[in-house]
Each structure stands twice: as C-alpha cells, then as structure tokens.
C-alpha cells in the first residue's frame, strides 16, 4: 500500500492487490439521494490500482460494487457505485464508468473512454480511446474511439487470449450473421442459436438476450441490404427519419 491511499469502511480488499498513491476505495456514491447506509465494495485478488483511482461502494445497504481478480486500473480511472467488473479487466488512464455498469472478463477500455450508467461491455472487447459508450457492446469486438461503433473483431485480444484459428473463424462467421445479413433482431437471434449452439460464438446470443432498453452498439459500416438498423436508439432513428423526409 503506497502513501496517501484511502480505504473507507465497507471495503474488502483481496490479497496481493497493489494500491498506489492517492487512490480512494470505498467512497460514498455520487448520488443526490444517498440512503442512510450505503453498501459495500468487494475487490478481488492480485489487482493493480494505480494513482488517483476512485472506486465507490454500492448505493444501497444490501448491494455491492464488485471487482474480480487480476485487473489493472490505470491512473485516474473511476468506477461508480454498483458496477460489476469481471477478471482481467483493464481500465486505462481516465476511464469513467457510470453507476451499475457491467464489464465482463478480459475487456479493455481505452484512455478517457466513458460508459453510460447501466451499460454493458462484453468479454474480450476492446473499446477505443475517447469512446462514448451509450449502448451495450457485444463480446469479442473492437470499437472505434471516434464514433464508438464496431469496426470488427478484437483479433489482437483474441490471439493473446489463446483463441485458435477455428474459434476465430467461428466468431467471424457469427459477426457477419449479426451485422452483415440484414436480419431483423429476433430473426438474427434465432439464426445465432441455430447456427452457433456451442463454442465461443454461442456467447453472442446469450449476451443479446440479456440486454437492456438501450440497445446494442452498431457496426460503423451499415450493410446495404439491411431492412432495419439493428439496435438503434430512438434519438438516432428520429434523426435519420428526418433526413429521409428532407431527401
């Protein structure tokens, strides 16, 4: 434990976790209506928490903010109340997570990226620097930092994680089904479950079925045969309808 570290009540810190100067762990949630008693912060083992990182405990007494094992939080990263982070997650410098965010195993978030509250980032996903994540990001993909949209599979991450050629080829085929066939959402889900019942690609359907009302991040390049734009927010849809009417 380095100098000027603050670990507040309600925090559990796993063994072999290193905490560097100025980090504050277990602070009160940043919320206008704080309850009389907040929840807990549970941090796993062998994590590295660098300078000026802040992690808040859960909003309500029966809740917990949870961080898995072997994670790396670089300088200035912030994890808000009730977030749930898996194992081997990397938050690079100045990453911001809103409340109730879920980050799955081995995801990596680029510098100064931000995830909207209740957002989800899938397993082995790489989020580009400065990205603004306002919809769920599926597993195994790469997002562009400028637009926040998908630009393909996270091939470097998959290779480093030990995925073989067959597994990567399966993920590529599933990705093309999702974003290139132009299927409506329910038909896309049914096709995923039929064509990829096992293997890593089977995780796509599970992830999509667990989504929230914000929808899912789209691919930066839209397939020309698409009958609808998958998982689009209402605001974006309205904007595009306006453009069509003006045209």
d(CA 56, CA 83): 9
CB 14 within 8 A of CB 7: no
| Cα 166 to the center of its chain, rounded Å | 25
d(CA 75, CA 134): 23
CB 87 within 8 A of CB 44: yes
DSSP reduced 3-state for 55:
strand
**Assigned token pair, 119:** 């957002």
Query: Residue 124 gets which letter from DSSP?
Result: T
d(CA 114, CA 122): 15
Which of 84, 103, 89 lies closest to 49 in space, CA to CA?
A: 89
**In this structure, are strands 141-143 and 150-153 parallel, antiparallel, or unpaired?**
antiparallel
- Give the dihedral of Cα atoms 209, 210, 211, 216; nearest 10 deg: -60
CB 12 within 8 A of CB 40: yes
Could you give the residue numbers annotated as active site? 81-82, 99
Report the sign of the C-alpha dihedral through residues 228, 234, 236, 237, in that order. Answer: positive
């Amino acid at each position: 434990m380095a100098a000027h570290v603050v670990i507040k009540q309600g925090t559990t810190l796993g063994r072999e976790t290193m905490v560097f100067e100025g980090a504050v762990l277990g602070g009160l949630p940043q919320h206008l209506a704080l309850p009389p008693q907040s929840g807990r912060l549970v941090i796993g083992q062998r994590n590295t928490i660098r300078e000026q990182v802040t992690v808040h405990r859960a909003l309500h007494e029966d809740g917990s903010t949870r961080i898995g094992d072997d994670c790396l939080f670089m300088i200035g990263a912030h994890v808000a109340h009730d977030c749930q982070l898996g194992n081997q997650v990397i938050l690079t410098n100045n990453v911001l997570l809103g409340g109730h965010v879920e980050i799955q195993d081995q995801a990596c978030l680029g510098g100064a990226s931000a995830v909207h509250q209740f957002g989800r980032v899938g397993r082995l996903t790489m989020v580009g620097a400065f990205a603004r994540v306002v919809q769920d990001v599926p597993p195994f993909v790469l997002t562009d930092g400028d637009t926040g949209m998908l630009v393909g599979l996270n091939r470097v991450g998959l290779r480093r994680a030990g995925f073989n050629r067959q597994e990567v080829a399966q993920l590529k085929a599933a990705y093309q089904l999702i974003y290139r066939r132009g299927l409506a959402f329910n038909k896309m889900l049914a096709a995923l479950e039929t064509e990829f019942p096992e293997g890593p690609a089977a995780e796509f359907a599970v992830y999509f079925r667990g989504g929230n009302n914000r929808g899912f991040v789209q691919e930066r390049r839209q397939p020309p045969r698409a009958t609808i734009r998958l998982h689009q927010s209402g605001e974006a849809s309205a904007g595009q309808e306006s453009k069509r009417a003006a045209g």
